[in-house]
Structure 1
Amino acid sequence: MTAPIFLDVDGSRIAVRHATGMEPGIVWLGGYKSDMLGTKAEVLSKWTEGEGRAFLRHDYSGHGESGGAFADGTISKWLSQSLAVFRHFTRGKQILVGSSMGAWIALRMVQELRKAGDDRVAGLVLLAPAPDFTAELIEPVLTEAQKHDLAEKGFFGEPSEYSPEPYIYTRALIEDGRENRVMTGPIDTHCPVHILQGLADPDVPASHALKLVSLLPADDVTLSLIPDGDHRLSRPQDLDMLVRAVGAMAGHAG
């Protein structure tokens, strides 16, 4: 494993791994509390290497090998870092592959890039997409104790089956999430979208993916429902489906 290179973004030391190659390149965007050395990112790294295709991944601040405190992170901050990495390292057409929160980052990136006149995103592959998860999935089910912690301490912690440490959700994350919502009306990505969603996902229900699909242009959207798929989508058959989805989109965009 080669060491990461670092890009300073607004004072945060962001760890990046980048392999050059043919277009369209693949850009990996991980989930909340995930890092760029996870199973799905590693599988895509090996696949792109075999294809001779460009591949870019990074850790958000407070994640993995990047600097900064996790509790200081917000969607706006992680979006800004992702845009900076994208603009610094990519050339030509790119496919964004976003997992869970990374799908939210990907959708916001497309909005911001197009606003700036950059139309290089040739496609989106979204796994267990969790756009607007703070407003759609967390806020509606907050307990009185969690609301009290947010008001008094500025955060609350939740046990996680993915980490020995509790997941921390801050008031800043939730308030900032409201400013970054994408599921408030039609979402025009100007590119094809392929969503992979497990029906046995305990964290992001399939109904969330269906709501997202209803807001996307129907002629450009593929939804693959995986009957026994969980939130990770990291079993061999899930990884195979991911590679096939990314490969098909890259072939089409190329």
Structure 2
Amino acid sequence: MHAFGKGEEFKTHYPYSNYVEFENEFYQSKEYKKMGNYWLEKFTDFNFSNPLKIREDLDGTSHSTVLMDNELADNLVKFAKQNGTTLYNLMLSAYNIAISHFTGREDIAVVTPVLNRYLPEFKNCIGVFTNLVPLRNKIVKDLIISEFIGNVTKVTKDGLKNQFYQYNHLIEDLKKYEPQFLYYMDFEDKSLKKHRTTEDIPHSVNIPKFCIDLEVKNLNDTYNVTASYKEKYFNEFEISYILDSFFKILESIINGENSDKKIKQITVSLNVPSS
């Protein structure tokens, strides 16, 4: 994801206090208001009701991790380059479809983190910058998979253009709609550690921020796909189904025989677990 809004390189180091001052002024600007209007327009007609079965007697969290086959990962990278998109967008497309088939909803919003450094002056500044953006995609099952990926790519690009509008401000703006975002995805490849030669230390799994957090991280040249979830909303079998769906959809994306198939045809063999 983009680190900052302006493409100019800057070597000067600025203290975090400068960023706080800039941020307070930026919140009052017309540009910031325009970004807020973008997000408000995106979600005023969104269905925020929770389609997940709630198990009131459970309050714990758990996680499940699956390692991605390196051949699959390499093929996905090649596919992304050939089709003018990114590995992140392929992962997001598969995650959206998997969630859609599990819940029956065809309008899905997935929250994703961005680095949120608006100006290059703050590239090397140490402090809290990360923001969250909700990316809304409609899973039209009559769409050819390549068309859906194109739609997801556009939604991501538009979201990144408006990534500097603070998530907590958006929640406040949407207050009358009782907003609740349920799904989260974080993607981390090797780009942030390209100058490091040491091995990755296996990371501890965070407590899920949302009902289900999907984290895709490249550790020692292998993608680890981890679903952290609240047991109030998911059980182990349901998470296994979602992860299995996620990988089957990714395999379908790179399968040449499926290039002209519709979403509903690609996922027709997946059976939703009974409650």
TM-score (norm 1): 0.28
TM-score (norm 2): 0.27
Q: Between the two structures, name the one with larger relative contact order (CA 8 Å, sep ≥ 6).
A: 2
